[in-house]
A and B are shown apart, each in its own frame.
Chain A
């Protein structure tokens, strides 16, 4: 089993759609979790941190299920500017950061 696994994608959705990405992790001792977005040929930028059961920031909601070792990202009312690759990142332990392979999202007019 991979340490961090994500939906392979790609996701192609119309503007205004709601889309959800899933991510599972293998280390039950992992303490912190993140969603980053990465635009083509750019560095990853933090979208959301997930420290408890989840949190919400505008159109974005992240949820954490420790029992199932699963985190999700929900994007409501998709915008064209949401098109990017979304990376799930898990701090396995002691700064051992592991990235998922990323899920590519394209929002179409």
Chain B
């Protein structure tokens, strides 16, 4: 059974048209992450939530926002997508309370910007 689910798996948007990517988890983990991964590059952390506490990376553009309405769901909002935002967006979770902080990744959403 899928533990970290991302929807949609593929998203096409137009330049400047807002888009929202969704992540849900059945693991009841308290930490959720959003990464951006461009072709042949490592995943780059955009931000993460520890419970309701939002932690933004210093170099994450303001164009990227996130919401976590409850433990299970986390959203990535791209307010005005540019061509350079085309990438795979990965959601991950971890449980801070456990002795390990292993991350579990969703299958990703591949974003195309036209």
Interface size class on chain B is 20 to 34
Q: Out of A32, A44, A87, A95, which one reaches B100, CB within 8 Å? A: A32
Binding site for B on A (CB under 8 A): 32, 34, 41-46, 49, 51, 87, 89, 91, 94-102
The residues of A that contact B100 with a CB separation of less than 8 Å are 32, 49, 51
CB distance from A102 to the nearest CB of B (A): 5
Binding site for A on B (CB under 8 A): 31, 33, 41-45, 48, 50, 55, 88, 90, 94, 96, 100-108, 110
Q: How far is A86 from B104 in the complex, measured between Cα atoms in Å? A: 16
The residues of B that contact A32 with a CB separation of less than 8 Å are 100-101
| CB–CB A87/B103 < 8 A | no
Q: How far is A99 from B42 in the complex, measured between Cα atoms in Å? A: 6
Answer whether A95 and B90 are a contact pair too, CB < 8 Å, given A43-B105, A43-B108.
no
Q: Out of A43, A49, A89, which one reaches B106, CB within 8 Å? A: A43
| CB–CB A87/B90 < 8 A | no
